[in-house]
Amino acid sequence: MAVVYSKALPQSGGANETPTRRFHTSTEKIIDQANPDITNIYAALLYGQQTRPDNPVLGKRDVLGTVTEDKQVQHKVNGKMETVTKQWSYFKLSEYKWMTYSQAVDYTTNLGAGFRSMGVKAKNRVLIYAPTSREWQLCAFGAFSQSMQVVTAYDTLGESGLLHAMNQAKVEVAFLKADQMPILARIMDQIETVKHVVYYQDLYGMPDGCKEAIDKVKTKYAVYTMEEVHELGVKNPVERQIPEGQDIALVMYTSGSTGKPKGVLIGHQGVMAVAGGIHLFIAPYIEHGHDIILSYLPLSHVLAFFVDVYCIYSGIRVGYGTPRTLTDDSVRECQGDIKELRPMVMMGVPQVWNTIRAGMLKQVNNSSWLVRKLFYNAVELKNVLRSHNLPHNFMDNIVFKKTREATGGRLKFIITGGAPINRNVQKLMNAALCPMIQGFGMTEASGLLSVQLPDDSTFNNVGAPCPSVEMKLVDVPEAKYFAKDGKGEIWVRGPSIFKGYLDNDELTRETVTEDGWLKTGDIGQWTDQGQLTIIDRKKNLVKLVSGEYIALEALESTYKNSLYIHNICVVADSRMAQPCAIVNIDDNQIAQMADNAGIDYNNPSEIATSQDFIKAVLADLQHVARENNLTKQETLAAIRIDAELWSPENDRLTPAMKLKRTDICDYNQDKLEDMYRQMGLDQE
């Protein structure tokens, strides 16, 4: 008998909306806190101290230094292979060093007292502009210990975005890593309210230019190291001032895929309601007090922050890593973060898993016919066995031993969110690593809105509504999505919904109805088992010349099955019968791809504009379309290649790794116009 993951509430729904659905065990009451009666984030840490005082909770690795290596790289120049020497720099790291619950409570209590000694008061705002680290989280909890609000800014946010966040939020304290000091020094004359600057640095020191930047910042602000603030608190102790559940915890700035980032006001109770809801069903899959999660995604992103808080509350150890030091290939004289930590749980956005999948399959495809056949058949077989609850782990030591060892060998499940994950990626991860669960959330909902269970073997859905919310789908008539067909815009309601946008009541009213329903802007559909499937973003539905709509994000997820591409931006408008796309291929890999395809070139810089190479990539993408049963109107008619790797640093991606469509299209305007001419479109 099929499992039912959510249930419709009796006497709900209407002509233009589906019945309201809740998690199947929470139909009578929405979860509004974490047990026992925990409604603020700092209380989650205190609960850990009360129940597991000597258990390790927060782990970090010290950077001991850097190792520089010369590498010989071959390039084809004017038709001839030439060898060039390049220098590569790698970090050397210590083993993980852990802080217990009692130590974390003592440290954050003293840090909060240090902030108070500096003159910072309850409800004042502390901005954190730093990479994910133990220091990031200790600063946040130090602020919470005195009812201060934390303003988050991605450490990759540009100067204008950082300045906007600081001034709009009227920040009193800026907390950052020493590496970010030169950015602060460049904008300091435009900052309006900051009075204090607190920084930390790696054990081995700081990059060039940081000391000079610190000296410049000292001419305007009171500047402290993190340890100096801690010592201030030790010498000037004060009672903790724990916030109430209804108090604002975070001013979390969205990653800004369009326009200036918005300040989202998130309450303490909102975060803990999600934690309590998740604990209701995830607890049986976790060994609390023992299991470990690797935290490396930006803590300025709501998913990473919420998961950290849940882990601290529930007894899961949090070990911090960085994207640059995850694997053995990216460090020297030590193991990468994954092998050193050997986590049981790990998070990632689809771009991370797409990259891992591409790396796996390239190795498999370079193997013998027998190995390829064995691997692909094993992936299918393991997923089938798992879907029927039949034994399948015996395959791990036969076929998937190397892939599991690469991630430490102890993963119980991995979490993906931020955008839809392709079915084939999820199938591969389920088989080669461990079960992948897909979640759906947004900053305005304090974290997760829905998530799959680890033993859910279905695909193309994001699970049932979390026990902390209720959910319904509402008609989008202009795109022909109707509630009577089980489709529509996803609306959610519950205690985890945000308290509004900072200084923007008009946008708040547009986003949240008077009776508390948050309009997510995502289009969803219910499965027969009560799971939610994300069809696309409302703003990314595009009407073609035929009058039919296509879903850009869904198409991009499908086309990422191609091993040629690193990323893709599908483009369409009402003049087109079929879409086109800007395809991103890493310029470090493009020459190898051309060689494998047997395409001649004199210089690697020519490959991205080579008509033969473009045709080969387009043919592969059209093959992917056929394999995934896309219609003609969803099949790409033309592509052009951008060989500069898209990233937050060059403004092609948000810090959450989502496409910045406008920036990508503006940068590639000449390529787009070339495609339009090829497709016979009139230029306007």
pLDDT at 49: 97
- Please classify residue 199 by burial: count the beta carbons closer than 10 Å to its beta carbon, then call 0-12 exposed, 13-18 middle and 19+ buried: buried
The size of the chain, in residues, is 684
Instruction: Please identify which residue in the block is written with the tokens 């058949």.
Output: 377
- Please classify residue 239 by burial: count the beta carbons closer than 10 Å to its beta carbon, then call 0-12 exposed, 13-18 middle and 19+ buried: exposed
pLDDT at 350: 87
What tokens were used for 647?
């990233």
* Secondary structure of 299-319 in HEC code, one letter for each residue: CCCHHHHHHHHHHHHHCCEEE
CATH T-level assignment (fold) for domain 41-57+96-313: Rossmann fold (3.40.50)
Report pLDDT digits (tens) over 503-513. Answer: 999 999 999 99
Report pLDDT digits (tens) over 572-598. Answer: 998 999 999 999 987 667 877 787 778
pTM of the model: 0.88
pLDDT at 74: 62
pLDDT at 639: 95
Instruction: Specify the DSSP element, H or E, that contains 473.
Output: strand 470-474
Percent of the chain with pLDDT over 90: 70
Overall average pLDDT of the 59-80 stretch: 79
Report pLDDT digits (tens) over 460-488. Answer: 999 999 999 999 999 999 888 999 999 99
| Cα torsion 672, 678, 680, 682: sign | positive
Same fold: 6-34+314-537 with 543-679: no
Overall average pLDDT of the 290-301 stretch: 95
How far is 338 from 325, CA to CA, in rounded Å? 9
Taking CB atoms within 8 Å and a gap of at least 24, the contacts of 510-513 are 511/444
Q: Looking at 369-487, list the stretches that DSSP marks H as alpha helix, in order from N- to C-terminal side.
A: 369-387, 401-406, 423-432
Query: Where residue 656 falls among pLDDT bands split at 50, 70, 90?
Result: confident
Query: Where residue 358 falls among pLDDT bands split at 50, 70, 90?
Result: confident
CATH T-level assignment (fold) for domain 6-34+314-537: Luciferase; domain 3 (2.30.38)
Amino acid identity of residue 402, one-letter, is K
pLDDT at 377: 94
How far is 292 from 339, CA to CA, in rounded Å? 12
pLDDT at 539: 83
pLDDT at 259: 64
pLDDT at 593: 79
How far is 294 from 317, CA to CA, in rounded Å? 9
Range of 70-79, 139-148, 251-260, 653-662 with top mean pLDDT: 139-148
Least reliable range by pLDDT among 48-57, 59-68, 398-407? 398-407
Which residues have C-beta within 8 Å of that of residue 179, sequence separation ≥ 6?
Answer: 201, 206, 207, 210
CATH T-level assignment (fold) for domain 543-679: GMP Synthetase; Chain A, domain 3 (3.30.300)
- Can you spell out the DSSP letters for 150-178? EEE--TT--HHHHHHHHHHTT-SEEEEEG
Higher pLDDT residue, 150 or 356?
150
Report pLDDT digits (tens) over 139-176. Answer: 999 999 999 999 999 887 778 889 999 999 999 999 99
- Please classify residue 669 by burial: count the beta carbons closer than 10 Å to its beta carbon, then call 0-12 exposed, 13-18 middle and 19+ buried: exposed
Taking CB atoms within 8 Å and a gap of at least 24, the contacts of 181-184 are 181/210, 181/213, 181/214, 181/217, 182/209, 182/210, 182/213, 183/159, 184/129, 184/213, 184/217
Query: Where residue 199 falls among pLDDT bands split at 50, 70, 90?
Result: very high
Overall average pLDDT of the 85-108 stretch: 94
Residue 647: pLDDT above 90?
no
Report pLDDT digits (tens) over 366-408. Answer: 889 998 899 999 999 999 999 888 988 888 888 898 888 888 9
Residue 77: pLDDT above 60?
no
Overall average pLDDT of the 333-349 stretch: 94
Domains in the chain: boundaries: 6-34+314-537, 41-57+96-313, 543-679
Report pLDDT digits (tens) over 5-49. Answer: 999 999 999 999 999 999 999 999 999 999 999 999 999 999 999
Q: Looking at 18-100, list the stretches that DSSP marks H as alpha helix, in order from N- to C-terminal side.
A: 41-51
